[in-house]
Structure 1
Amino acid sequence: MTTPDRPDRPDPPEERQDLQPLSAYLDSELSDEQRDAVAERIARDPASAATVSAYRAQDNALRALFASEAVEPQVVVMRPRRRERFLMAACWAFIGVACGYLLHMLLPALHDERPPFAQRADIAYAVYAPEQRHAVEVVAAQQDHLVNWLSKRLNRTLTIPSLAEYGFQLVGGRLLPGEEGPAAQLMYQNAAGERITLYTTTVSRNQSKIRMLRDGPRTTYYWAANRAGYALSGQIGEEKLQAIAYDTCKELGGDPKSW
């Protein structure tokens, strides 16, 4: 509670206690004996009388303000000043630009139909193709072991295509984690030291048509057949890599009619 003549300053605890009987007097919350005592106090104390008058005036003002619920409420329209209108317009413009930028960033992802295994194959090529001493886990000299090991882990018979026609010889292979299970990476190299990799993993749907993924200097051609996803990655030029991909797809059971 604050005093009427000092509404911005809280009363000390002793003053609040002293004013409580006056407030109760106005609200008819006292017994007859207490009311008579307070009335006598008001009669002899000008300060108490002034306090009661101020309380009564406040009470009357509040009653007048909310006198009738039937009266339609007044609508107060707050019109921002010119500076505020400018700031609001700037804020909305910023929000619009931000939303447009986010939509621009999200749309390619929403329309990107590239399967995860193609991206994994591209990354695996980027990681292991530059390796000299640890490019593969099992070398080509142990090809029988490589085929049996990877076939068992992928739960399908693994075929190692020959790319000698294009000047590439098998270096070896390794086991990798895939999106839907284990994946295999076979690595090939030509006399110039260029490398390409063939990535194989299990997929849930076929995609017989060969598609391309490009990331900087790397290119990956990928397809899926018989619930197996294949991806051929390299940096030897798109046309040459595409020709190898088409022949490899055909050798692994792909349908050339769908190309």
Structure 2
Amino acid sequence: MDTEPNAPVTEAELHAWMDGELPEERRGEVERHLAGDPDLARRFDRYRAQRAMLQGTFGPLIDRPLPAALVPPYGRAPGRPAVRPRRWLPARVVWCAAFVADAVAAHRVFAVEVRHPVEVGADQEAHLVGWLSKRLGKPLQAPRLADKGYDLVGGRLLSDARGPAAQLMYQDAAGRRITLYIRPASDAPDTSFRFAQDGNVQAFYWRDNGLAWAVTGDLDRVTLSAIAEEVYGALNS
């Protein structure tokens, strides 16, 4: 094998580990790196969360074989059978899965916070919206959700692999929280609602007017869908 025993772990090796395709002699070394490098371990956990989200939300597409027109003519010796094509996913599906995984992860981290759930509170809503709009490069608003029993708590600036993102948090009288996760999506067309679930957390997400939105919460699907529709209506009124 060409990889040195103590060589840094590559992104390809992390994904190969999850696919069960990492050679055994390298697998142990990668696992030692994961145990000793918290940043690498967090990145690996994020990839696993995205993989689980992909499997749960886009399972039929994941199992679809690579189209014949895209199978390369190389990689096998004459007279030998072709290697079974790797499974594939359209780029838009990967993008959606990464986005909603980030939204769910951010919800899990901050929705349980007691003292610091947001960076800027609802008492500074104008400042919050202006600040986030400037950082995302798109005009934002904080939808009114009082008709659904939720009031704005505040929001914060986040970041992911594609750049800045924003989170707005809402809470009802019982203390239940939902979050809106927003990031620029100027390079992608508008979409209808899509649904994803990871454990007890559910999300409806879509793209509209150059932004990707996800409404996330530990609520039943019908209730969360009604809230997502309220958000969409407020943004397009």
**2:164 aligns to what?**
182
Q: Return the alpha-carbon distance in structure 1 between the equivalents of residues 108 and 228 of structure 2.
A: 18
Q: Kindly provide the amino acid, as one letter, of the partner of residue 129 in structure 1.
A: A
Q: How does 1:225-236 map to 2 (within 5 A)?
A: 225-236=208-219
**1:202 aligns to what?**
184
Q: Are 1:110 and 2:92 an aligned pair?
A: no
Task: Provide Cα deviations, 1:10-66, integer angstroms capped at 9, x if missing partner.
Answer: xxxxxxxxxxxxxxxxxxxxxxxxxxxxxxxxxxxxxxxxxxxxxxxxxxxxxxxxx
Q: Cα distance, 1:225 vs. partner?
A: 1.1
Q: Which has the higher helix share?
A: 1
1:207/1:118 Cα in 2 relative to 1: closer, same or farther (>3 Å)?
A: farther
**2:222 aligns to what?**
239
Report the TM-score, using the length of structure 2 for normalisation: 0.60
Task: Provide Cα deviations, 1:60-90, integer angstroms capped at 9, x if missing partner.
Answer: xxxxxxxxxxxxxxxxxxxxxxxxxxxxxxx
**1:218 aligns to what?**
201
Q: CA RMSD in A?
A: 2.3
Q: Cα distance, 1:207 vs. partner?
A: 3.7
Aligned residues: 153
Gaps of 5+ in 1: 1-100, 255-259
Task: Provide Cα deviations, 1:207-232, integer angstroms capped at 9, x if missing partner.
Answer: 42100110000001000012210000
Q: Return the alpha-carbon distance in structure 1 between the equivalents of residues 108 and 145 of structure 2.
A: 20
Q: Kindly provide the amino acid, as one letter, of the partner of residue 208 in structure 2.
A: A
Q: Are 1:128 and 2:106 an aligned pair?
A: no
Q: Which contiguous aligned blocks of 4+ residues in structure 1 show a shift greater than 2 angstroms?
A: 105-112, 178-181
Residue among 156, 166, 175 paired with 1:193: 175
Q: Kindly provide the amino acid, as one letter, of the partner of residue 237 in structure 1.
A: D
Secondary structure of 1:126's match? helix
Identity %: 42
Secondary structure of 1:110's match? coil
Q: Kindly provide the amino acid, as one letter, of the partner of residue 212 in structure 1.
A: F
Q: Return the alpha-carbon distance in structure 1 between the equivalents of residues 168 and 108 of structure 2.
A: 14
Higher relative contact order at CA 8 Å, sep ≥6: structure 1 or structure 2?
2
**1:10 aligns to what?**
none
Q: Kindly provide the amino acid, as one letter, of the partner of residue 241 in structure 1.
A: L
Task: Provide Cα deviations, 1:178-199, integer angstroms capped at 9, x if missing partner.
Answer: 3432111000000111000011
**1:252 aligns to what?**
235
Q: Return the alpha-carbon distance in structure 2 between the equivalents of residues 197 and 178 of structure 1.
A: 16
